[in-house]
């Protein structure tokens, strides 16, 4: 009995002691962290150490210039002329109105609305749709689509626009990752956890102050990269912008895997930046044309022998002859293409021809699989690759980010599920109807997220507003867009020499709304 009382007393006495020990430990940790917290607060208050791309483990830039600057009157932020080789003019109020819902849309030329312009981009249709849904509220959808801009060039823009009181970030990116040549030798021996640690640290200004101080003490420029990262030009230097640029592309699986890894890293980092800032994000999974877009460059597998090459060429020639007959023998042509693709399953052109044979023969599932394989084996990947599409979906699920899956959306709207010219004007750029489809999907998502509360007859009123705006743009707008489409197609096939695909100032003046096809 006495022993039990003694044991109970010891137990009662140990509880306060345990609590006291935990409190002391927490206080000790807090005291230890206090200098770092105080330093971070001072850095924020003084404007020191603004995050930039210097911590990107893959690439750096010679310079990073702001996308938006204050106008002369000081009342609006605008894209300066110095950036309008790649961006269309856009602006927003320096002092955000109290009732404004401000959205920044980041991405490449698809976001910009190419081959047309912002007026008919999904960003403009979205703004118009939201205005019709809740006309008593102010909606501002700002287009930050840069021609040929990849994820690593979008990160500084995201960091910049997060300083301008956004209510939402929309990200549509993935087609431009292979446009600029860069090496990855400096990261081959680096563990993945190091990259994630750097990404996490980059959210703190104190990290940048300390890093730049170390650079100064060690006599290194603040822009000098860690581990000899390649430094890219301030603006895009796409291989296809140069004469003979297509010839620079060759099969390099290691390079391709590193770019896919960089894309995944950058997506995760951008999501983390928005989450740290407390700003919601919507991801769009990019869509690409499968049926109507032949591969941009094909190469034989590296170990194809001379005899196998002869057999491959013979099979392909015989298959083409079968298709040229008065009554084409689709079955025989398909059999011959299948044999050719067994000899060389890496030749994108052979896979594309096989896909069309399946397509003509009504074998839709086989056709889609072959079209996808042709895209994946394209030596010049100007369309997002499947692992990158998968990464968007996986990160959306893992990090709880709302997703508009444009690939699935366009597949559902295509009769047989193989995306083609019905919704896309070329390899990746949606038609104006396609941009409207994207805008409608985004608006519906915002309604489901309880961000928008549309009035009655919203859908009918929206369609009327779309048509009115389309009519207001005038024929020259659409003619100029189709002319640019022809140039873009030549550029993608490596046939434009030094001509760059930049916004054309001869287009109609940009508006805050958008347009539709005639």
Kindly state whether residues 123 and 228 are assigned to the same domain: yes
Which pLDDT belongs to residue 412? 97
Q: CA-CA distance, 55 to 97, in Å (whole number)?
A: 34
Kindly state whether residues 239 and 104 are assigned to the same domain: yes
Which pLDDT belongs to residue 479? 95
Q: CA-CA distance, 30 to 207, in Å (whole number)?
A: 19
Residue 355 belongs to a domain with what CATH number? 1.25.40.10
Which pLDDT belongs to residue 197? 65
Kindly state whether residues 204 and 280 are assigned to the same domain: yes
Cα-flanking dihedrals φ and ψ of residue 264, to 5°? -65, -45
Kindly state whether residues 201 and 250 are assigned to the same domain: yes
Q: Contact, 259 vs 177, CB < 8 A?
A: yes
Q: Work out the number of other CB atoms within 10 angstroms of the CB of residue 43.
A: 19
Residue 449 belongs to a domain with what CATH number? 3.40.50.1110
Give me the sign of the Cα torsion angle 341, 343, 346, 349: negative
Residue 32 within any structural domain of the chain:
no
Nearest Cα to Cα of residue 142 among 106, 182, 114, 176: 106
**Distance separating the N- and C-terminal Cα atoms of the chain:** 95
Q: How many residues comprise the chain?
A: 518
Nearest Cα to Cα of residue 103 among 234, 322, 282, 320: 282
For residue 143, give the H/E element and its range: strand 138-145
> What phi-psi label fits residue 22: left (phi over 0), alpha (psi between -120 and 50 degrees) or beta?
alpha
Kindly state whether residues 184 and 170 are assigned to the same domain: yes
Locus of tokens 């431009």:
176
Q: CA-CA distance, 200 to 51, in Å (whole number)?
A: 11
Residue 269 within any structural domain of the chain:
yes
Kindly state whether residues 278 and 405 are assigned to the same domain: yes
Which pLDDT belongs to residue 469? 97
Which pLDDT belongs to residue 281? 98
Kindly state whether residues 113 and 258 are assigned to the same domain: yes
Q: Take residue 250 and report the two structure tokens written for it.
A: 């060759």
Q: CA-CA distance, 440 to 112, in Å (whole number)?
A: 17
Residue 460 within any structural domain of the chain:
yes
- DSSP at 114: T
pTM check: above 0.85: no
Residue 410 contacts by C-beta under 8 Å, 6 or more apart in sequence?
Answer: 287, 419, 423, 424, 430, 434, 437
Kindly state whether residues 77 and 158 are assigned to the same domain: yes
Residue 91 contacts by C-beta under 8 Å, 6 or more apart in sequence?
Answer: 68, 71, 76, 77, 78, 79
Three-state DSSP at 285 gives strand
Residue 386 within any structural domain of the chain:
yes
Q: Contact, 175 vs 286, CB < 8 A?
A: yes
Q: Contact, 205 vs 38, CB < 8 A?
A: no
Residue 514 within any structural domain of the chain:
no
Kindly state whether residues 439 and 372 are assigned to the same domain: no
Asked, as a colleague might, if the bond just before 115 is cis with ω within 30 of 0, I would say: yes
Which pLDDT belongs to residue 188? 46
Q: How would you write 42-104 as a 3-class SS string?
A: HHHHHCCCCCCHHHCCCCEECCCCCCCEECCCCCEEECCHHHCCCCCCCEEECCCCCCEEEEE
Residue 170 within any structural domain of the chain:
yes
244-261 b/e with 16+ CB inside 10 Å = b? ebbeebeeeeebbebbbb
Residue 472 within any structural domain of the chain:
yes
For residue 171, give the H/E element and its range: strand 168-172
Last residue of one domain, picked from the residues 376, 397, 432:
376
Give me the sign of the Cα torsion angle 500, 84, 174, 270: positive
Kindly state whether residues 405 and 366 are assigned to the same domain: no
Three-state DSSP at 140 gives strand
Residue 322's domain comprises 306-376
Q: Exposed, middle or buried: residue 342 (CB in 10 Å: 0-12, 13-18, 19+)?
A: exposed
Beta strands 69-70; 60-61: pairing state: unpaired
Kindly state whether residues 207 and 356 are assigned to the same domain: no
Residue 147 within any structural domain of the chain:
yes
User: What is the CB-side half-sphere exposure of residue 40 using CA atoms within 13 A?
Assistant: 12
Nearest Cα to Cα of residue 180 among 228, 142, 146: 146
Q: Take residue 319 and report the two structure tokens written for it.
A: 């298959």
Q: Contact, 504 vs 118, CB < 8 A?
A: no
Kindly state whether residues 276 and 363 are assigned to the same domain: no
Nearest Cα to Cα of residue 435 among 376, 481, 497: 481
Query: For every one of its 518 residues, what pLDDT tens digit does the chain have, with 9 covering 90 and above?
Result: 545 544 554 545 566 777 777 777 787 877 877 887 788 788 777 666 655 434 566 666 767 889 999 999 999 999 999 999 999 999 999 999 999 999 999 999 999 999 999 999 999 999 999 999 999 999 999 999 999 999 999 999 999 999 999 999 999 999 999 999 875 554 444 555 665 666 566 667 777 667 666 655 655 444 444 445 667 777 888 888 888 889 989 999 999 999 999 999 999 999 999 999 999 999 999 999 999 999 999 999 999 999 999 999 999 999 999 999 999 999 999 999 999 999 999 999 999 999 999 999 999 999 999 999 999 999 999 999 999 999 999 999 999 999 999 999 999 999 999 999 999 999 999 999 999 999 999 999 999 999 999 999 999 999 999 999 999 999 999 999 999 999 989 888 876 554 444 444 333 333 333 334 33
Beta strands 168-172; 100-107: pairing state: parallel
Which regions of 241-295 does DSSP assign to beta strands (E)? 281-285
- Please give the tally of structural domains in the chain: 2
Q: CA-CA distance, 154 to 53, in Å (whole number)?
A: 10
Q: Contact, 104 vs 170, CB < 8 A?
A: yes
């Amino acid at each position: 009995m006495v022993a039990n009382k003694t044991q109970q007393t010891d137990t009662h006495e140990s509880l306060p002691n345990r609590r006291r020990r935990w409190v002391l430990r927490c206080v000790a940790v807090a005291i230890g962290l206090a200098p770092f917290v105080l330093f971070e607060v001072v850095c924020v208050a003084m404007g020191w150490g603004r995050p930039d791309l210097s911590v990107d483990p893959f690439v750096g830039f010679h310079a990073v210039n702001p996308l938006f600057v204050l106008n002369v009157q000081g009342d609006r932020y605008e894209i300066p002329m110095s950036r309008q080789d790649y961006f269309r003019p856009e602006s927003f109020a320096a002092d955000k109105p109290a009732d404004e819902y401000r959205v920044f849309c980041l991405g490449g030329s698809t976001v910009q609305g190419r081959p047309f312009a912002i007026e008919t981009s999904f960003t403009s249709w979205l703004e118009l749709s939201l205005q019709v849904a809740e006309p008593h509220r102010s909606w501002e959808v700002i287009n930050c689509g840069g021609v040929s801009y990849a994820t690593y060039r979008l990160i500084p823009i995201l960091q910049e626009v997060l300083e301008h009181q956004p209510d939402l970030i929309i990200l549509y990116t993935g087609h431009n990752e292979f446009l600029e040549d860069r090496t990855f030798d400096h990261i081959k021996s680096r563990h993945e956890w190091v990259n994630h640690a750097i990404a996490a640290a980059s959210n703190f200004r104190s990290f940048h102050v300390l890093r730049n101080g170390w650079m100064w003490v060690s006599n290194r420029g603040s822009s000098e990269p860690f581990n000899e990262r390649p430094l890219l030009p301030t603006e895009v230097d796409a291989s296809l912008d140069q004469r003979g640029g297509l010839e620079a592309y060759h099969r390099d699986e290691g390079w391709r895997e590193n770019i896919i890894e960089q894309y995944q890293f950058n997506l995760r980092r951008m999501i983390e930046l928005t989450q740290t800032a407390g700003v919601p994000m919507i991801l769009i999974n990019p869509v690409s044309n499968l049926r109507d877009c032949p591969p941009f460059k094909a190469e034989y597998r590296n170990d194809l022998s001379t005899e196998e090459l002869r057999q491959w060429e013979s099979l392909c020639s015989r298959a083409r002859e079968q298709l040229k007959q008065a009554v084409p023998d689709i079955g025989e042509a398909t059999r011959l293409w299948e044999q050719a693709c067994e000899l060389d399953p890496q030749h994108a052109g052979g896979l594309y021809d096989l896909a069309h044979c399946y397509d003509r023969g009504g074998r839709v599932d086989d056709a889609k699989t072959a079209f996808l394989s042709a895209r994946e084996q394209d030596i010049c990947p100007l369309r997002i690759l499947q692992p990158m599409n998968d990464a968007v979906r996986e990160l959306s699920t893992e990090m709880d980010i709302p997703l508009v899956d444009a690939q699935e959306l366009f597949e559902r709207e295509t009769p047989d599920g193989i995306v083609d010219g019905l919704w896309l004007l070329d390899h990746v750029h949606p038609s104006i109807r396609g941009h409207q489809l994207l805008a409608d999907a985004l608006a519906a998502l915002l309604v489901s997220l309880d961000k928008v509360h549309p009035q009655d007859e919203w859908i009918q009123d929206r369609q009327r507003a779309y048509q009115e705006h389309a009519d207001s743009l005038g024929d020259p707008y659409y003619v100029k867009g189709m002319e640019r489409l022809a140039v873009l197609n030549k550029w993608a096939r490596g046939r434009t020499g030094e001509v760059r695909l930049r916004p054309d100032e001869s287009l109609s003046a940009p508006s805050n709304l958008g347009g539709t096809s005639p």
